[in-house]
Amino acid sequence: MYEQQLPIEEWKAKKQAELKETIAAQKSVLQEVVQDGQRLADYLYGRGRLGSHITSGNAALVLQTLPQARAVLTAKDWDKFGRRVNKGAKGIPQLVRVNGYYNVGSIFDVSMTYGNKPYPIP
């Protein structure tokens, strides 16, 4: 029923590894984007569709995972707009800055949510 808690040092190491993995993924995706003109055009079109609230690296991760993404927010933000994240939906990792430190968070596309309220258009 309850998960066994990790010792603090193991938890820190796990979080650091997760952070490094996400940063490396952002770098590799952005390098792939600039290799080909068509990929760059697709990225820029998708980046415009996602809006300005998301960084370039995070947008690249989203568009690699879900090329037709329309609107991405955290689960908490979707709640504010009257939509809920589907059970079992796996979030897309992103870098978020909290109190001056970078952490890995998850965001969800509107296609991963349900509700009868419209989603915000960026």
Q: Render each residue's pLDDT in the chain as its tens digit; 122 residues.
A: 556 777 889 989 999 999 999 999 999 999 999 998 999 999 999 998 888 888 999 999 999 999 999 889 999 989 988 899 999 999 999 999 889 889 999 999 999 999 887 766 65
In this structure, the dihedral spanned by the alpha carbons of residues 72, 76, 80 and 83, taken in order and rounded to 10 degrees, is 60
CA 11 to chain centre: 22
Q: How far apart are CA 50 and CA 29, in angstroms?
A: 17
Amino acid at residue number 120: P
In angstroms, the first-to-last Cα distance of the chain is 40
Q: What burial class does residue 94 get, using C-beta atoms within 10 Å of its C-beta: 0-12 exposed, 13-18 middle, 19+ buried?
A: buried
Residue 47 DSSP SS3: helix
Q: At what angle do helices 8-33 and 37-50 cross, to 10 degrees?
A: 120
pTM of the model: 0.82
pLDDT value, residue 116? 81
